[in-house]
Chains A and B, each alone.
Chain A
Amino acid sequence: MGSNGKEPIIRVRGLHVGFGAKTVLDGLDLDVPPGEVTGFVGGSGQGKSVLTRAILGLVPKQAGTIEVFGEDLDRMSLSEHRALERRWGVMFQGGALFSALTVKQNIQTPMREYLKLSQSVMDELAMLKIKLVGLPPDAADKVPSQLSGGMVKRAALARALALDPELLFLDEPTSGLDPIGAADFDELIATLRATLGLSVFMVTHDLDSLYSICDTIAALADGKVIAAGPLSTMLASDHPWLRAYFHGRRARAIVKQGRAAALASAQGIEGAR
């Protein structure tokens, strides 16, 4: 059960994933509640990306079940799986934009594949997504190599949102962004979550993101989820890695500022409107 009492949108049970003799995920259980932003933390090389890739079906698993939208991925036909893939959007860490296509064409790729829309509406919707993620309109006709790192992230988010998915996977969305850009991005995700009713599964290292937009946090260590719940659960945990992570020097500074900053930014947003 998720923290808001609804059926989890992703339910993972007893997941084993390994490469050769090395076991990465060892009987992992995870629930992702719907309509929330779930942050997923863990040390480098602990298998955060492997879990995401296993849920997405990019990495084969040795044992365990994965249910998304209440359906077991193993018991799905190919066509059901393709239908499912329309309901989620994925933003890869490096953006994974198609380098030969412009930003607009990148966003239209899933539309073209799955929908029968006229070109003019696809153009309009692509421009809408571009506006929605905060890119300037002239970015539409640029190819990814002409974009800055932050713009690539936004373009990748626009592509992930092309089909208005219900579930959004974000792999390190704020890595490589400056703090202002990262805060903007967090706010963008929060807005999208509120407007589109998205469930967001976010792999992140960014303590600011965890504090400001994540409703639930799950922590990964030794191939298992060692703690899951709201931030207070994380702060109260005794696990040494979690203590180091949430009570480290960088974390303490953010906690201290956390309340004041949240208040100020809330007022700032109200003032701007």
Chain B
Amino acid sequence: MSNSISAAPNFSVERDGETVRIALRGAWTISASRALEKTAVAMSAAGKGARRVAIDFAGVIRLDTAGAWLIDKARAQMAASGAATEYQSLDADQRILLREAAYAPAERELRPKRNRLFEFLIRLGVWGAMIGGNVATGVSFLGELAAAALRVAFNPALSRPTSMVFHMENFALRAVPIIVTINFLVGCIVEQQGIFQLRRFGAATYAVDLIGVLTLRELGVLLTSIMIAGRSGSAITAELGSMKMREEIDALRVMGMAPMEVLVLPRILALVFSLPLLTFIADIAALGGGMTTAYLYDGLGFQAFLVRLQDAIGLNTILVGLIKSPFMALVVGMIACIEGFRVQGSAESLGRQVTVSVVNGIFMVIFVDGLFAIFFAGIHY
């Protein structure tokens, strides 16, 4: 490394009555870091009270913009305190550098005073407006989606089955292992706790009723939807978001292709078809888990379990879960697409929208499940 240029910046001062001569030495470059800053401050202090200040550059080995800026800032401070300042023995390069890096005091922008209560109220208002806006966006998106779906339905040439099947492979087929695993485990856990609690009343076999009803009506579809919101919802938001960032969506639009038909509809339809299939698989896996646990903890044979199960549930039990699943898919898919289209130019914004997509997706899945619970209770189904 060329160490000859790393001589620390320093200066010497000669006072002659009201005239001060400051002779600079060393390398005034940014690599001196803190030393450069301190030397410059010391220099402006050295010229205090002088009528005339001459700054001599003869001993400067190297100068860069940072050095020039700090020297000129010190000079400007001396000039502000009433000294006549001048530079001496500048070479041509230093002269240009000092001109380019001439000190200009930064203008301070005035910040308005803030009132905490107002700030809070403003935030509350913005938050309320955001929720209202989200609902409005959701409704208008649903409308657009329905319009696109109708266009495609009346003109099947516009449909994109290949794209849809491709997405179904990602959303459904590749999700089967994880869906089976978590539902099997949850089935085991629920059955085990059911046996433990009901055993105290001598009704351990009713744990079969418990697992049958709970899984088929609620848990299967809930767990699957939450998993899909995390797994596929995030993927959709990230895909659409990065397409938005790179202007791919604008490119589609100017080529006369509606993003709604090309990007959104295949994904949402794929989800709507995938989720019932996955829910069915999840139901079976959870029942399998329950059956295994019932055998291990209660000695209930598989055949006995199935007979008991047949008494406990009807066709409506499984239909309740399956009817809910396409609606869950619609909710998850819509939120994922909306958030994807909201991505702005930065990577940070992409991350934020993916988070929002997953959190809102899971929240809405549980909320919609609650609405369905009220609805089905109301019609005694």
Q: Count A-B contacts at CB 8 Å.
A: 76
- The segment from A10-18, A19-27, A126-134, A213-221 found at the interface with B is A126-134
A-B contact pairs, 26 of them (CB 8 A): A86-B31, A99-B346, A99-B348, A100-B346, A100-B348, A111-B30, A114-B33, A116-B33, A117-B37, A121-B70, A124-B106, A125-B65, A127-B106, A128-B66, A129-B65, A132-B101, A137-B107, A145-B345, A146-B345, A163-B31, A164-B29, A164-B31, A164-B66, A195-B100, A196-B64, A196-B65
| Cα distance A43–B347 in the bound complex, in angstroms | 32
Asked whether A121 lies within 8 Å of B65 as measured between CB atoms, the reply is: no
Return chain A residues, CB-CB under 8 Å to B344.
145
| Cα distance A83–B64 in the bound complex, in angstroms | 18
Asked whether A128 lies within 8 Å of B69 as measured between CB atoms, the reply is: yes
Return chain B residues, CB-CB under 8 Å to A132.
65, 100-101
B97 contacts partner chain A, Cβ-Cβ < 8 Å: yes
Return chain B residues, CB-CB under 8 Å to A86.
31
Which interface residue of A69, A86, A99, A114 has the most chain B CB atoms within 10 A?
A99
B96 contacts partner chain A, Cβ-Cβ < 8 Å: yes
> Which 8 interchain pairs have the tightest Cβ spacing?
A145-B345, A99-B346, A164-B64, A100-B348, A115-B33, A195-B96, A116-B34, A195-B97
Return chain B residues, CB-CB under 8 Å to A258.
none
Please list the residues of chain B having a beta carbon within 8 angstroms of any beta carbon in chain A: 1-2, 29-31, 33-34, 37, 64-66, 69-70, 73, 93, 96-97, 100-101, 104, 106-107, 344-349
Minimum CB distance partner of B34 in chain A: A116
A4 contacts partner chain B, Cβ-Cβ < 8 Å: no
| Cα distance A164–B33 in the bound complex, in angstroms | 12
Given contacts A83-B1, A127-B106, A128-B101, contact A117 B345 (CB under 8 A): no
Given contacts A100-B346, A100-B348, contact A121 B106 (CB under 8 A): no
Asked whether B37 lies within 8 Å of A121 as measured between CB atoms, the reply is: yes
Return chain A residues, CB-CB under 8 Å to B93.
194-195, 197
Return chain A residues, CB-CB under 8 Å to B66.
125, 128, 164
Partner of B37, one of A118, A137, A191: A118
Return chain B residues, CB-CB under 8 Å to A127.
106
Partner of B96, one of A100, A164, A194: A194
Return chain A residues, CB-CB under 8 Å to B104.
131
